[in-house]
Amino acid sequence: MAREYNWRTGCDVEATLSVIGGRWKPILICRLLSGRKRFGELCRLAPNATQRMITLQLRQLEEDGVISRHVFAEVPPRVEYEVTDFGRSLEPIIHAMQFWGSEFKARRFAEAAKDGSTADAA
């Protein structure tokens, strides 16, 4: 698990992955870069993730100072999440991942089209 990272001897890439590694953390960060979101919005924006997984990932990102959680004293309670200034420093990394993913998908679609197959190119 990423939480077992040794801060004294681990490599720098491993340090980054200990914070943003996993399937959902980069997606949550990407969604939050556009502004504050409520928990329900984040669940809708990551429909393949369970609420429990989103909760766990948000808690870890909050522990690492990447996002902040705002609780409003209302009934029913309202919670919003946003990227911190420290978390904004991940923006170029997240955008680079987006760009790379877009290029990768285009390449896979082109390969599938060349092969004449349309099933599950990405």
Domains of the chain, residue spans:
2-115
pLDDT band at 117, cuts 50/70/90?
low
pLDDT digits (tens, 9 = 90+) for 61-76: 999 999 999 999 888 8
Q: What pTM was computed for the model?
A: 0.83
CATH topology of domain 2-115: Arc Repressor Mutant, subunit A (1.10.10)
Euclidean distance between CA atoms 88 and 85, whole angstroms: 5
As a whole number, mean pLDDT of residues 114-119 equals: 69
- pLDDT on residue 2: 44
Q: Where are the beta strands (DSSP E) in 55-117?
A: 67-72, 78-83
Please name which of 86, 44, 37, 43 lies closest in space to residue 61, comparing C-alpha atoms.
86
Q: Tell me the pLDDT band of 108, cut-offs 50, 70 and 90.
A: very high
Residue 10's SS3 state is coil
